[in-house]
Structure formats: C-alpha cells, structure tokens
A and B are shown apart, each in its own frame.
Chain A
Amino acid sequence: MAEIPKEEYLEKCTTACAGCTSSLTLRYVLKAAGPDTVLVVPACCTSILQGIYPNTSFSVPVYNIAFAAAAACASGMSEAFASMGKKTNVIVYAGDGGTIDIGIQALSGALERGTDFLYICYDNEAYGNTGMQRSGATPMGARTTTTPGGKTDAKKDLDRIVAAHNIPYQATATPAYPKDLYEKVKTALATPGPSFIHILAPCPPGWRIASDMSVTVGKLAVKTGSWVLWERKYGELRISSPSKSAMKKRAPLREYLSVQGRFKGISDSAVNELEQAIEKNIAQLAKEEAGEC
C-alpha cells in the first residue's frame, strides 16, 4: 500500500471549525490527486473555508460555482481539458445538500453522459454552511435547526441512486480511515469516466460532538455499521477491510448515537428504524459481494 505523501495542498489557515473532518478529507483527496487538479465547489462549507478574497487556503485552482450546478460545470471543464489533450483531474467537492438535494439533477446528467471526472460528496448530514438545517442526508431522529423535534424521514439512499447509473467506479469512505480513503481517491482518478466517492464527514457543531471527537465518531460509524466502507469497480463490489472486521461483531448502534448531541432524546422507534436500515444495507451489500443479486 502506498504511503500518503507529505505534500500539502490545503493550508492550515482555513476558516473551518476545529475538528472539521470535511477539511481533513480534502487534505487527503488533494494529496492523492496532486497538483494537476482543479476542484469544482458548489455552495457549501468548503466555499467558506477557502477564506475571504484576496486570500485562498488552497494551492490548486478552485472553481466556485452555484449550489445546484457543480456536476454540470465539471462536465464542461472535463470536455474542455479533453479537447486540449490535457489530463488534468476534475474533482467536484460537494456537500450532501449540493449532491443529494439541489444538485442531484446535474449529478445524474453528468454520470449518465459518462463525464470523465471524480465527484466527491462529503456528507456531514445537514446544511453546514447555513447553520445546520436538515438535508436529504440527515438521518432519521437527528435534530437540526429545521427538525427541532428530530427528523421524521429516513436518510436518502444516495449510493443506490448513483449505482443505478452503472458508473465505472463508486466507493464510500471516511477520513477516520485515511489510507482507505487515499487509496480510493487514487483508484477513482485512475479509472476513466465518472467516479463517485461518498464520504461520511463528522461535523462537531452540527453533530454536537466535541471537536476532538470527530475522528472517533467516524470510527464508531463504521464499527456500528452505520457507515459501511466498500468500493465497486466495473460492477464488482468489495466491502473494505475496516467494515469487514466491523461486521464480524458490530458495536451496538447506541454507542454511536449517544455520543452525539443531535440524537439526544431520539425515540426508540427511530432507533429501531435506523437499526433495521443498517441491517438491510449490510445484508444487501454482503449479498452483492457474494454475487447473489
């Protein structure tokens, strides 16, 4: 396994909150991608953490674009680089809201057209930029500023929506397992055509956890099966090793929920639904891996 390089493309002067795993993710993504890379960023926390004009905390070009528009912008950029014979990586770095809610139409179009790019959705399970309103990715039972009593709808199944586009490479990751994340970004960029990586990014203010807990919470997500790490190359699914070992003996879901303030007071029925969703997801993935679907 390759070592993660020391080069930094994201300076330490970002204005992200302490313990932000989304900016941590970005560090690994850029290390894997290297300097011949353009980031396309729709409105999200990442638009803010670049700093304020005339400064920027990135040492690769970042193209900021309207909230709903990232994948379409990347389509144009990718075709243009291709027309010039350039191999520049085009990476969309978008939040869950910009992916699953307002941006899903543009994403679907770009995947269907076979755009040669990598789309990364960092999922902090709410609208962080605007102060933590619910998104389609907010899990059931979580409190946000627009679901003060806890969300009553389930988390949208983004990965299966993306999977329905039959793209060459798709994966999940979380920066709590940096090597896994790094390898997946490398593979995605080496695969021609559209790639998609969905990254769980614990967010201290949004999840109401201490800022030094975000990596621990990311690990708990994997250990409890709330977040399963896998990759699918040309239709072949492989569950990644951290999740493989987690599945042998899953940690109780409550361990993941109880450390997060956003789940305070969650009803038993919501916990049950979350548990059932986890079991269903794992069973489906295991079946697919075994070639039984």
Chain B
Amino acid sequence: MLTVATGNKAVAAAVKAAKPAVVAAYPITPQTEIVEQIAEYVTAGEMDARYIPVESEHSAMTACIGASITGVRSFTATSSHGLLYMHEMLHWAAGARLPIVMANVNRALGPGWNVWAEHTDAFSQRDTGWIQLFVSTVQEAYDTTLMAFRIAENTGILLPVMVNLDGFVLSHIMQSLETVEIGDYIPPMVLPHRIDTGNPAGYGTLTGPGDHFKFRWEIEKAMRNSPAVIADAEEEFAMRFGRKYGPVDEYLCDDADVLIVSMGTLGKEAEVAVDNLRKEGIKAGSLRIRWFRPFPELDISDRDLVVLDRGYSFGFGGVLTDSIKSRYRDSSLFSVVAGLGGQEVTYDDIAEFVRNRRMGEEYWFGVDA
C-alpha cells in the first residue's frame, strides 16, 4: 500500500508487520512518535503485542532481554541519552545472544541539551556487539526494520540489530512509503537457548578466565557470518518486494575520482552535490555506508575520499574516518566533521568540501577558518 509517512511512522508500521510479542519502550525526543504509534496500534487492537510502559531505557532494554530469552520476538526504540542509559544492557543483549531489534533515532548528547541529528549516540555503542544499520529515507527505514528481524533471528547470527535514522531530518520528514505484505519473509523465531523449564540451565553464571574469551569469540564469529546473512536478507527482500539494498549505497562511483563517504541522510544530500560537481567537470561519486557494524568491504582504491563524519572520537578523529582508515591505511582522505547537533549541511556545503579538499587533513565545518 502506498501512503505518506514520517520515518518514525514507517518504523512503527514495519514493527507492526513483524508482529513482536513484546514491545518495551520509553519516550524520548525525537523517537516518541514510534512509541506513541505502537501504543495506539496495541490499544486499537491492530497489534497483538504486550506493550510495557517501562520507567527508563535501562528497563526498556532489560524487559526486551527478559522477553527475548523466553524465545519471543521483542522490539524497542530510543535515541540519544536513552541509548546511552541502555549501554550496560546493550552489551548484555549481545552477550546473551538475543535477537532484539531496536530503532535508534540519532540525536546529539548533552550538555547542553540538543535534540537534533548526530551519530555520536550510535557510535558510542560501536563495541557492544550490536549489528548497526543506517538508513537514509522513510522507505529505507521501513524496509530495513523488516530486514533487521530476519537478520537478528538467523540462527547463525543471534545478535541484536539497531536500525539508525537521523533525528528530525528523517524521523519527522514525510515521504512516500510503500508498505508490503511480508508473508513468511521473517520466519518464526527459534531461539535455541531459550528458557525452558523442561531443560533447566544456568544463564550468565560466573564464567572464568578459561572460558570468557570463548564466548566473546563466538560473538565475533557471528559478526563475521553476518555480512552473508545481511546480504541474503537484502537479496530476498529485493526478490520479493523489488527494492534493492546493499552494504553501501553507491551513486556514480564507477568512474569517480573523488568519493564522498557518509552515513544517513547526508548521503542523499551528497548525491545532489555529486550532480552539481559533475556539471563543473569534477568526477565525484557518493558512497553511503549502510552497514556500520559489521563494517563493509569498500572499493575505494586510487580515489580521493571526502569523509563526512557526524560523530567524533575526542583525542583521535572522526569515527567513520577511523573505521575507514584502520581498514585502508594508505587511503588518502579528507575528514570533514559536519552536521553535529543538527548543524545544517547543504549540498552546496558538501560540494565545497569536495572542491576545497585537503587530503590527509581534518576540517571542522563552521569552526575552521
């Protein structure tokens, strides 16, 4: 069905279609619409889920953990400080190998209070063992949320998945949305280690130095399996519903001399910059990273890279820049820190970054002279 929806509404519609048994969530700007919409679906009887109005995000994630370990599908959504308040339990969810799906509406962190888009919230969870996907349109938010359940619950993975969408810019924009009949796209959830009183086991018991690392390695093994599983979920999605996705979204990259590498909505804005730069004879392309963890293989050899970073690791550098550099040490790269806390970045600004790129250097948009 075709309709007009916000990014938040698209996520809620996908969750409704995925039929989780338990949703536990806590409101926070700019995610609230997801929670409110789901509460409304449940109250109206359109969604047969238990909705738990918890008292904090720590409890939201923990309630999802409690639900998931019994073998049922669970979902939550948050943003910014909410995501940070969950941090302990994010490690827990991944460590306990629970296929929880969460939408995170990317927002800056205080102080001072700022409710606008930034990726630092998600970047701060980089090492929790969550699969992290970043989307750039309302349709992609819907489609990726559906895929997230299939990916998370794959028995070769069993890791939680976070779908990231830019606060306000995407969470509140209205674009066209085509919803689908998902059929058996998401198979029933089977959790091999679910709580079963017929087969009692201890969960998370004291694990000594001789064993702990083995469980960590299992997480990494699942992460290493995940590219194939995510790709399969994307292919199957394209086959059934006609929309194609991949680890990156490439725009005019094949013959490009310079690639704009970015995440989220900046990646779409960058495509407009590419069109304009090409009119001037600058062969630019846009490479939007969709999978942040696992980090995808990139075909970036012999090209200048202009990396747009919406999050920063103080004392080191841009977080996306860091991921690219540590994989491709010799790649020459211009790191641009732009869009923090909702800072407006237009396609003209992005084109300027490309025109004035200084390879090997870093540039803070709006601060550097």
Which of chain A's residues 98-121 have a Cβ closer than 8 Å to chain B?
101-102, 104
Which of chain A's residues 53-95 have a Cβ closer than 8 Å to chain B?
53, 64, 66-68
- Cβ contact of A131, chosen from B32, B39, B56, B113, cutoff 8 A: B32
A66, A130, A147: most-surrounded residue (chain B CB, <10 A) = A130
Contact B113 A146 (CB under 8 A): no
Known contacts A101-B56, A130-B27, A145-B39: A53-B32 contact under CB 8 Å: no
B28 at the interface (CB under 8 A from A): yes
Q: Which residues of B contact A127 (CB under 8 A)?
A: 27
A235 at the interface (CB under 8 A from B): no
A133 at the interface (CB under 8 A from B): yes
- Cβ contact of B110, chosen from A66, A102, A129, cutoff 8 A: A66
Known contacts A101-B56, A133-B35: A149-B113 contact under CB 8 Å: no
- The docked-state distance in angstroms from the alpha carbon of A173 to that of B55 is 25
Q: Which residues of B contact A131 (CB under 8 A)?
A: 27, 29, 32, 36
- The docked-state distance in angstroms from the alpha carbon of A224 to that of B27 is 32
A198 at the interface (CB under 8 A from B): no
Contact B112 A146 (CB under 8 A): no
Q: What per-residue 1/0 map shows which CB atoms of A135-151 lie under 8 Å from chain B?
A: 01000000001111100
Q: How many residues of A contact B (CB 8 A)?
A: 23
Known contacts A133-B27, A148-B43, A149-B43: A64-B53 contact under CB 8 Å: no
B352 at the interface (CB under 8 A from A): no
A-B contact list, 9 entries, CB within 8 Å: A53-B112, A68-B56, A127-B27, A133-B27, A133-B53, A145-B32, A145-B36, A145-B39, A147-B43
- The docked-state distance in angstroms from the alpha carbon of A77 to that of B43 is 44
Contact B113 A47 (CB under 8 A): yes
Which of chain B's residues 56-108 have a Cβ closer than 8 Å to chain A?
56, 81, 85
B208 at the interface (CB under 8 A from A): no
- The docked-state distance in angstroms from the alpha carbon of A136 to that of B32 is 17
Q: Which residues of A contact B110 (CB under 8 A)?
A: 64, 66
Q: Which residues of A contact B111 (CB under 8 A)?
A: 64
CB distance from A94 to the nearest CB of B (A): 14
Closest 8 pairs between A and B when the two form their complex, measured CB to CB: A101-B55, A102-B56, A146-B39, A133-B27, A145-B36, A149-B43, A130-B27, A148-B43
